[in-house]
Amino acid sequence: MQVHDHVNTLWPRCDSVKTEGDQLILRVSRGRCYDLVDSYRMSPHRQLIGLRSASELLGFVRAFGPLFFSEPGVRTEKLSHYWSFQQSLKAFVFLLSAMRGGELAEVRKAVTEYIKATEAEAVIEIRGLRGSGRHARFPRVGRVFGAKAICDLIAQSEDSRVGQIAIGFVENSFTAELGFRVTASARKFHIAAQPRLLGLAEALRWMVWQDVHDERPLSFCPECGSLIKVLDARFRKFCSPEHAHRSAARDWRRRDSERKPRLKRSNQKEGRP
């Protein structure tokens, strides 16, 4: 008996994608499908997080298909829904990165942005777009409900309380059903571990989980804000050596400008020129 880690979870691509205002007009393919689990190798979750323009988003949808629905044919969706999902996923990754860094001021900022993005994305589900209740929900902490109230609570809370709120949001951010898929041939069975993914949106969240599981940390460059490409499990703070050098040079100039007045006052006190 052979055991495989591959599972066939098919999702359609788009034959054509165009926009009209906030309308995203998709022609979902009837035959051009790909495997959601296999696509992890191409890091579509990282590609989506890095999108900065409508043309880049159109290219992503053309390559990986619609986020929420898989029925073939022409359909119209809101472009803003796709950006809301992207901002929610990006804010979650930023929160993970901030918590990994351990700076509580950054955690406070990151969890606030994640709460705002989560509430914006949850509106999509309440309106029935996703058809799945497993993920986005309006944010809640105890009896405090809604993004604004929770952000006010965070602004008034001590660091330890903010840390607990962040932990709660991360631990309750994502669930997925797991199972097995077994196929039989003439002489053996093939067993595959199968995450039961409802679609591309859920697959992208699962890929973030898989990165954490595989110790491939997602983090953002503090110099340019872009997602850092990870080649191995080693932590990298900047996306390139150039940005690391630029940040180091700026820090040196700041320290030098702080040092010169102190040196001048010390010289004047000791009567040196």
Quick: pLDDT tens for 86-123.
Answer: 999 999 999 998 998 888 999 999 999 998 888 776 65
| pLDDT at residue 142, as a whole number | 62
Which residues on neighbouring strands pair with residue 184, listed in sequence order? 189
| pLDDT at residue 125, as a whole number | 46
pLDDT grade for 48, boundaries at 50, 70 and 90: very high
Tokens coding 247:
């940040």
Tokens coding 272:
């040196």
Quick: pLDDT tens for 136-173.
Answer: 454 556 666 678 888 888 899 998 889 988 998 898 88
Distance, CA of 205 to CA of 151 (rounded, Å): 24
Distance, CA of 72 to CA of 239 (rounded, Å): 39
The whole-model pTM stands at 0.73
| pLDDT at residue 134, as a whole number | 47
210 and 251 in one domain?
Answer: no
Distance, CA of 126 to CA of 273 (rounded, Å): 72
220 and 255 in one domain?
Answer: no
Report helix angle 159-171 to 104-126, nearest 10: 40
| pLDDT at residue 253, as a whole number | 73
162 and 50 in one domain?
Answer: yes
217 and 255 in one domain?
Answer: no
258 and 199 in one domain?
Answer: no
Give residue 266's domain range: 240-273
Distances from the Cα of 76 to the Cαs of 25, 60, 80, 192, in angstroms? 5, 16, 12, 35
Segment 241-250 long-range contacts (CB within 8 Å, at least 24 positions apart):
247/222, 247/223
